[in-house]
């Protein structure tokens, strides 16, 4: 029985309006997957970018494996994402034409123990949108407190 790992990008829902989500595989080295299984990764500052019709996750932080030797990985490096050609073509068109961005939302391991990255096609929010989402969160929290008291 494998322990599932879920690492979220909490800033993504606050800073961006998520239009569509995809699940992509990641090309990792041996020590990188070991660090992810220990939960030592961070995707809050990362983003995705195209290079030669391939999608890469940039600025993703995966801590160096403590028991690694000279073959240990770099903490911040470009990591290739694996998607279908049809999905990649659609993402390229939407990023170039509409000015949208691709942001990692969640890093997780599936039931087979493979690391996956949930990415979202996003549009940046304006400051008034952010205030509106904060207001919605506050009212929801207040309603939950009132419901709990009854």
User: What is residue 34's predicted lDDT score, i.e. its pLDDT?
Assistant: 86
Residue 25, C-beta contacts closer than 8 angstroms, at least 6 positions apart: 81, 82, 114, 115, 116, 117
pLDDT above 80: residue 2: no
Instruction: State pLDDT tens for residues 15-26.
Output: 888 999 999 999
Is pTM beyond 0.85? Reply is no
pLDDT above 80: residue 82: yes
CB 44 within 8 A of CB 9: yes
pLDDT > 70 fraction of the chain, expressed in percent and rounded: 99
What's the whole-number mean pLDDT along residues 117-140? 88
What's the whole-number mean pLDDT along residues 97-106? 90
Show the 3-state SS of 48-76.
EEEECCEEEEEEEEECCCCCCCCCCCCCE
pLDDT above 60: residue 1: no
Binned at pLDDT 50, 70 and 90, residue 33 comes out as confident
User: What is residue 46's predicted lDDT score, i.e. its pLDDT?
Assistant: 92
| Distance, CA of 11 to CA of 28 (rounded, Å) | 24
User: What is residue 80's predicted lDDT score, i.e. its pLDDT?
Assistant: 93
pLDDT above 60: residue 84: yes
Binned at pLDDT 50, 70 and 90, residue 49 comes out as very high
Binned at pLDDT 50, 70 and 90, residue 64 comes out as confident
Show the 3-state SS of 98-109.
HCCEEEEEEEEE
């Amino acid at each position: 029985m494998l322990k599932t790992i879920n690492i979220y990008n909490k800033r993504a829902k606050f800073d961006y309006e998520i239009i569509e989500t995809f699940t992509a595989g990641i090309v990792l080295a041996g020590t990188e997957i070991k660090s992810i299984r220990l939960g030592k990764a961070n995707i809050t500052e990362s983003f995705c970018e195209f290079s030669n019709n391939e999608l890469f996750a940039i600025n993703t932080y995966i801590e160096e494996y403590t028991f690694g030797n000279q073959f240990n990985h770099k903490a911040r490096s470009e990591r290739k994402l694996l998607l279908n050609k049809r999905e990649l073509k659609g993402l390229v068109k939407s990023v170039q034409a509409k000015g949208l961005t691709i942001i990692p939302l969640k890093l997780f391991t599936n039931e087979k123990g493979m690391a996956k990255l949930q990415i979202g096609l996003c549009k940046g929010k304006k400051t008034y949108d952010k205030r509106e989402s904060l207001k919605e969160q506050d009212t929801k929290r207040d309603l939950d407190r009132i419901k709990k008291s009854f």
